[in-house]
């Protein structure tokens, strides 16, 4: 697995930073990894940064290298010696030069360096090492996703190619953080064309600027501005483009906003999905993949209730012959509105960093993991079940905030304060990934599980339509109660309304 060239700043009061005769501050550096990548990093520093960095030597876990000289510098011990050597040589910075390093090892190195308040950099991907293009100007901040201990899913590219290549594909919510990445990932598998649908004109414009109107593979990307709530509009799209596959990512997702707008949340998330499903079934679509959320499990929030209803709708339509599935996400790092983005902005302005509760925790996944999950699930989408990534243990939001503060070069609670604001409307302390009442099985893909979704079909779709027919007549509490009743009655799973779990 390739890594990225990132930087991890921790303020240092103990380590010496040498001032050169020209007044510049010189940092004392150790390179972790005495292989080819480490030599390239050393050469790059000597060519371009020798007035800023004094390289003291190498760390390496290979005992056969210990004590040897590499380009004039000694190879010291490995992981077991890192903190001792940082103190002895008063190191300010460690550069990891092992491009295929695992996330677990990165996390260990970072923990040692964080304890000693030194910064950590890491080299680019393996391919850049092979090309010999390691450049010091590629340094960027540590990507928090690299501290997740699990390795990312290895895509079964052949299987994905088999169902994507040559097909016409509609992506709704194509300007969003997930939808846009789905569009980009699809281009790797040579579909005939991708119809990128979104109501956000500017977002579509920037997506096209990013990928170009046509990919290198020859795939045509067609931008379409429109609204999934408009059934007639959707019928026209299906008639004009004859899609084979739909990836449905369009939705309102911000929990507190939907708490005060249950009417529009239901219309957009539930009826918009219903419109797409009905048009897809009528058009004889090959498969339908819908994006859901862990907030759909025993949903407390309005947003969670709407997403649980969409899971049930996809199951109901699978019984009518539309092959499809739902893909249930945790919190996606770096997506629009992500807590990571909010915290980084607060840190940028000096804090405080606001956390709702010291006990609040969430499951996290990277954007790449989310999109890979969608691609994999799409290849086996058949009977309306729900696919979920094994995201390991949940992460406390307080710990996440403190890590981000440290990664920005500050001491949590000292330089930048944490402020607890209380749980917001629609939130619970802990989320779940599965319903206890539903069978959960390992899928044929490593790290992906499937919850056997069930819906008492009978008149479920008609009942959803009946709620829509009176949506502007009933008050918002009645809308919420009606959604609860639909979920409990037609899935045989209660809506659990506790806040703290």
Average pLDDT, the chain: 84
DSSP 408: B
Strand-pairing partners, residue 497, are: none
In the structure, what pLDDT confidence band is assigned to residue 479 with cuts at 50, 70 and 90?
Answer: very high
Task: Report which of 185, 19, 183, 32 is spatially closest to residue 94, judged by C-alpha positions.
Answer: 32
Q: What is the tens place of the pLDDT at every residue in 202-214?
A: 999 999 988 875 4
Query: What distance in Å separates the CA atoms of residue 297 and residue 280, rounded to the nearest whole number?
Result: 26
pLDDT of residue 39 exceeding 60, the answer is: yes
Site of tokens 């009442």:
437
Confirm if 231 and 242 have CB atoms less than 8 A apart: no
Helices (H), 294-425: 302-319, 339-348, 367-379, 397-407
Strand-pairing partners, residue 27, are: 53
pLDDT of residue 12 exceeding 70, the answer is: no
Interval 260-277 mean pLDDT: 97
Q: What is the tens place of the pLDDT at every residue in 102-118?
A: 778 888 888 888 778 77
**CATH topology of 6-142 equal to that of 157-491?**
yes
Written as six digits, the tokens of 306 are 């709407």
pLDDT of residue 157 exceeding 90, the answer is: no
Query: What distance in Å separates the CA atoms of residue 111 and residue 310, rounded to the nearest whole number?
Result: 42
Q: What is the DSSP string of 42-75?
A: HHHHHHH-TTTEEEEEEE-S-GGGTT-EETTEEB
Q: What is the tens place of the pLDDT at every residue in 368-402?
A: 888 888 998 999 888 899 999 888 888 899 988 88
CA geometry: angle 300, 304, 309, nearest 5 deg: 115
- This prediction has a pTM of 0.79
Least confident of 60-69, 113-122, 139-148, 235-244: 139-148
Confirm if 456 and 316 have CB atoms less than 8 A apart: no
| C-alpha separations of 184 from 45, 227, 293 in Å | 35, 21, 21
pLDDT at res. 389? 85
pLDDT of residue 343 exceeding 90, the answer is: no
Which of 295, 305, 307, 398 is catalytic? The answer is 295
In the structure, what pLDDT confidence band is assigned to residue 5 with cuts at 50, 70 and 90?
Answer: very low
Written as six digits, the tokens of 481 are 């109660």
pLDDT of residue 97 exceeding 60, the answer is: yes
φ, ψ for residue 28 (rounded to 5)?
A: -90, 125
Query: What distance in Å separates the CA atoms of residue 458 and residue 239, rounded to the nearest whole number?
Result: 30
In the structure, what pLDDT confidence band is assigned to residue 131 with cuts at 50, 70 and 90?
Answer: very low
Confirm if 395 and 364 have CB atoms less than 8 A apart: yes
Strands 193-198 and 168-172: parallel
Q: What is the tens place of the pLDDT at every residue in 218-233?
A: 788 999 999 999 999 9
Interval 43-67 mean pLDDT: 85
Confirm if 182 and 211 have CB atoms less than 8 A apart: no
In the structure, what pLDDT confidence band is assigned to residue 413 with cuts at 50, 70 and 90?
Answer: confident
Question: Across the chain, which distance is largest between two alpha carbons, in Å?
Answer: 82
Least confident of 108-112, 143-147, 390-394, 417-421: 143-147
CATH C-level class of 157-491 = alpha beta
Interval 63-71 mean pLDDT: 91
Task: Report which of 120, 204, 147, 173 is spatially closest to residue 366, judged by C-alpha positions.
Answer: 147
pLDDT at res. 302? 96
Q: Is 417 a catalytic residue?
A: no
Instruction: Answer whether CATH 3.40.228.10 is correct for domain 6-142.
Output: no
Interval 277-304 mean pLDDT: 95
Domain ranges of the chain: 6-142, 157-491
Confirm if 77 and 66 have CB atoms less than 8 A apart: yes
Site of tokens 């779940």:
432
- In the chain, the N- to C-terminal Cα span, in Å, equals 36
């Amino acid at each position: 697995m390739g890594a990225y060239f990132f930087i991890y700043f921790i303020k240092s009061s103990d380590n010496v930073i040498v001032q050169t005769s020209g007044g510049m501050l010189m940092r004392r550096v150790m390179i972790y990894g005495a292989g080819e990548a480490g030599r390239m990093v050393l050469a790059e520093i000597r060519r371009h940064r020798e007035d800023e960095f004094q390289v003291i030597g190498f760390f390496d876990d290979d005992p056969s290298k210990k004590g040897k000289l590499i380009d004039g510098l000694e190879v010291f011990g490995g992981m077991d010696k890192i903190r001792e050597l940082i103190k002895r040589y008063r190191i300010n910075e460690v550069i990891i030069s092992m491009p295929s390093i695992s996330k677990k090892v990165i996390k260990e190195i970072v923990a040692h360096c964080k304890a000693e308040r030194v910064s950590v950099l890491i080299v680019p991907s393996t391919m850049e090492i092979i090309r010999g293009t390691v450049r010091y100007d590629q340094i960027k901040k540590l990507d928090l996703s690299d501290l997740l201990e699990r390795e990312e899913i290895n895509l079964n590219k052949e299987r994905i190619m088999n169902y994507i290549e040559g097909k016409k594909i509609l992506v709704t919510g194509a300007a969003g953080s997930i939808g846009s990445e789905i569009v980009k990932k699809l281009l790797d598998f040579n579909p005939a064309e991708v119809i990128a649908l979104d109501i956000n004109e500017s977002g579509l414009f920037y997506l096209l600027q990013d990928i170009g109107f046509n990919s290198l593979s020859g795939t045509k990307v067609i931008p379409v501005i429109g609204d999934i709530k408009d059934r007639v509009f959707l019928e026209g799209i299906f008639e004009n483009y004859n899609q084979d596959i739909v990836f449905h990512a369009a939705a309102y997702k911000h929990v507190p906003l939907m708490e005060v707008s249950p009417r529009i949340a239901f219309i957009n998330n539930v009826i918009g999905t219903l419109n797409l499903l009905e048009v897809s079934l009528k058009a004889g679509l090959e498969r339908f993949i819908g994006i859901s959320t862990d907030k759909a499990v025993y949903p407390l929030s309005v947003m969670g209730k709407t997403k649980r209803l969409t899971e049930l709708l996809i199951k109901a339509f699978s019984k009518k012959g539309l092959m499809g599935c739902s893909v249930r996400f945790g919190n996606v790092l770096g997506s629009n509105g992500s807590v990571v983005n909010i915290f980084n902005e607060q840190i940028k302005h000096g804090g405080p960093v606001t956390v709702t509760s010291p006990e609040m925790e969430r499951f996290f996944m990277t954007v790449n993991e989310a999109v890979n999950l969608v691609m994999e699930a799409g290849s086996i989408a058949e009977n309306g079940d729900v696919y979920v990534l094994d995201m390991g243990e949940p992460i406390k939001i307080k710990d996440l905030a403190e890590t981000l503060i440290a990664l920005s070069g500050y001491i949590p609670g000292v330089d930048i304060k944490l402020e607890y604001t209380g749980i917001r409307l629609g939130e619970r302390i802990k989320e779940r990934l599965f319903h206890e009442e539903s069978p959960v099985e390992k899928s044929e893909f490593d790290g992906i599980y499937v919850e056997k979704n069930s819906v008492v079909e009978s008149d479920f779709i008609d009942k959803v339509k009946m709620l829509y027919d009176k949506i502007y007549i009933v008050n918002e509490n009645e809308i919420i109660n009606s959604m609860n009743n639909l979920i409990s009655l037609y899935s045989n799973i209660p809506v659990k309304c506790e806040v703290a779990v």
